[in-house]
Amino acid sequence: MLIKVLGPGCAKCKRVEQLTREALAELGLAADFEHVTQLEQIMAYPIMTTPALVVDEVVKCSGRIPSKDEILAWLKQ
């Protein structure tokens, strides 16, 4: 599983990554993380605002910090 956090590295981006790591730990799953900060790479995704969470190249959320329950549901799929 590949998880990408899209954003400039702000506190919100870090919070999205932290919540995602916690959800992965709860589920006992392993994943590779990538923090995409380059604007050109971020613009390759269909998002308008950051932070954004991408799981296996599918945008799950953008422009807000998702709840851990939301992240758990996305990771279970």
pTM, two decimal places? 0.94
Which residue among the candidates 3, 5, 6, 13 is catalytic per the annotation?
Answer: 13
Q: Say whether 13 is catalytic.
A: yes
CA dihedral defined by 60, 50, 34, 8, rounded to 10 degrees? 180
- Report the alpha-carbon angle 55-59-65, nearest 5: 90
pLDDT for res 77: 85
- DSSP labels for 42-59? HTTSS-SSS-EEEETTEE
Domain interval for residue 8: 2-76
The CATH number of whichever domain residue 26 belongs to comes to: 3.40.30.10
pLDDT digits 0-9 by tens, 7-37: 999 999 999 999 999 999 999 999 999 999 9
Which residue among the candidates 1, 10, 43, 73 is catalytic per the annotation?
Answer: 10
Q: Say whether 61 is catalytic.
A: no
